[in-house]
């Protein structure tokens, strides 16, 4: 995988200056943001409605519309994500209320998610502060110190069928119904999840009343499951890739972790659109308040960032087997590699 990293770029621009360099890209364009919402929400609703009509009339081919609907739902999540970073609008209230409404469609309680995601941004790539808003990652030493049932549990968690199948379903359908991880963090996480649950239940009950529970589930379930799996895959490959960076203690540095611990996931043009350019993840971690539609401009203006931590769609498939951080080799390894090196 191409990971033309630190020395070349840092020789031309001090890594500590990237925050200042990218500050000029942070100002949202309100009209552009509204348009981005409309061109995502309207086709999502249209695909959903047409798929529901197909389900009612036994036009099974029409259920193929759940595929683009899932793509639009992923894009809605990216819009919600930008709201959480204060990147979609200049005013905080506009971001927050837009994010909360979108959260009803994505089944994600906005204020609860924003808090855990902020922790992820503040601690990404830090071995001393793992566990909130990230994919659970053990070091080889930690894994080997576990009892057999602990190792079996971690291997099960890391199995692709769990990580990208049952895991996403559990996360968006079940886990987000309660503020797991923030159960004792005050009123806000609870208020966020309860309000989102009510916001989900009311329109769902109305649609079930109109369509019947069978057609409703035939449309909503595949859309939710496909979008959830795509979302988890994106989050996974943005940090769990060959050549990623982890450090600990005083050696951890925010900018270094952003540049080398987050991938530039180069996707085909259509997938870039549906995923809201989130593949330009190293730049996003450097300056999270840059609106998603301005991220490609950063790569045009600063071409030295293009090849940093770059992986392609084909290359990303090999990331599935990476499961443990080898503290000696300073890289992610598979269970088989860890066993062979023991």
pLDDT, tens only, 100-125: 999 999 999 999 999 999 999 999 99
Confidence of residue 17 (pLDDT cuts 50, 70, 90): confident
Report residue 52 as tokens: 């529901």
User: Token pair for residue 293?
Assistant: 């539609």
| In the predicted structure, residue 11 carries a pLDDT above the cut 50 | no
Dihedral sign computed on CA atoms, order 10, 14, 15, 19: negative
Give the bridge partners for 266, in sequence order: 312
Instruction: For 129-165, write each residue's pLDDT tens digit.
Output: 987 888 999 999 999 999 999 999 999 999 999 999 9
pLDDT band with cut points at 50, 70 and 90 for residue 2: very low
Range list of β-strands (E), 244-287: 264-266
85 near 288, Cβ under 8 Å?
yes
Q: What is the residue-averaged pLDDT of the chain?
A: 92
Which pLDDT value is given to residue 212? 96
Q: Determine how β-strand 324-326 pairs with β-strand 310-312.
A: unpaired
**What b/e readout covers 46-76, taking b as 16+ CB neighbours within 10 angstroms?**
ebbebbbebbbeeeeebbebbebbbbbbbbb
Give dist(CA 281, CA 121) in Å, integer.
11
Check if the beta carbon of residue 280 is closer than 8 Å to that of residue 253: no
**DSSP code of residue 2:** -
- CA 275, distance to chain mean position in Å, is 9
The number of beta carbons lying within 10 Å of the beta carbon of residue 213 is 11
User: Distance between CA atoms of 329 and 239, rounded to whole angstroms?
Assistant: 17
Lowest mean pLDDT among 39-53, 137-151, 180-194: 180-194
Question: Percent helix, strand, coil in the chain (nearest 5)?
Answer: 70, 5, 25
């Amino acid at each position: 995988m191409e990971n033309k990293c630190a020395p070349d770029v840092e020789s031309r621009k001090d890594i500590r200056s990237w925050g200042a360099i990218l500050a000029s890209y942070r100002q949202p364009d309100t009209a552009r943001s509204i348009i981005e919402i409309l061109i995502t929400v309207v086709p999502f609703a249209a695909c959903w409605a047409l798929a529901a009509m197909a389900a009612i009339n036994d036009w099974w081919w029409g259920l193929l519309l759940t595929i683009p609907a899932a793509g639009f739902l992923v894009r809605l999540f990216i819009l919600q994500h930008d709201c959480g970073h204060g990147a979609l609008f200049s005013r905080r209230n506009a971001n927050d209320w837009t994010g909360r409404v979108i959260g009803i469609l994505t089944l994600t309680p906005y204020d609860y998610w924003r808090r855990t995601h902020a922790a992820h941004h503040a601690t990404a790539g830090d071995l001393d502060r793992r566990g909130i808003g990230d994919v659970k990652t053990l070091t080889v030493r930690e894994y080997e110190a576990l009892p057999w049932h602990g190792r079996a549990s971690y291997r099960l968690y890391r199995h692709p069928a769990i990580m990208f199948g049952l895991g996403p379903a559990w996360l968006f359908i079940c886990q987000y119904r309660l503020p797991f991880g923030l159960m004792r963090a005050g009123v806000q996480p609870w208020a966020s999840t309860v309000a989102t649950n009510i916001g989900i239940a009311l329109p769902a009950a109305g649609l079930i009343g109109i369509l019947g529970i069978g057609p409703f589930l035939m449309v909503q379930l595949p859309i939710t499951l496909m979008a959830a799996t795509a979302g988890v895959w994106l989050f996974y490959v943005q940090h769990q890739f060959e050549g990623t960076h982890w450090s600990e203690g005083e050696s951890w540095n925010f900018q270094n972790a952003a540049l080398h611990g987050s991938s530039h996931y180069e996707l085909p043009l259509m997938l870039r659109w549906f995923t809201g350019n989130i593949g330009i993840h190293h730049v996003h971690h450097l300056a999270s308040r840059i609106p998603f539609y301005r991220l490609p401009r950063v790569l045009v203006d600063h071409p030295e960032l293009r090849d940093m931590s770059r992986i392609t769609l084909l290359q990303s498939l090999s990331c599935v087997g990476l499961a443990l951080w080898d503290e000696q080799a300073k890289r992610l390894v598979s269970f088989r590699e860890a066993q062979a090196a023991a």
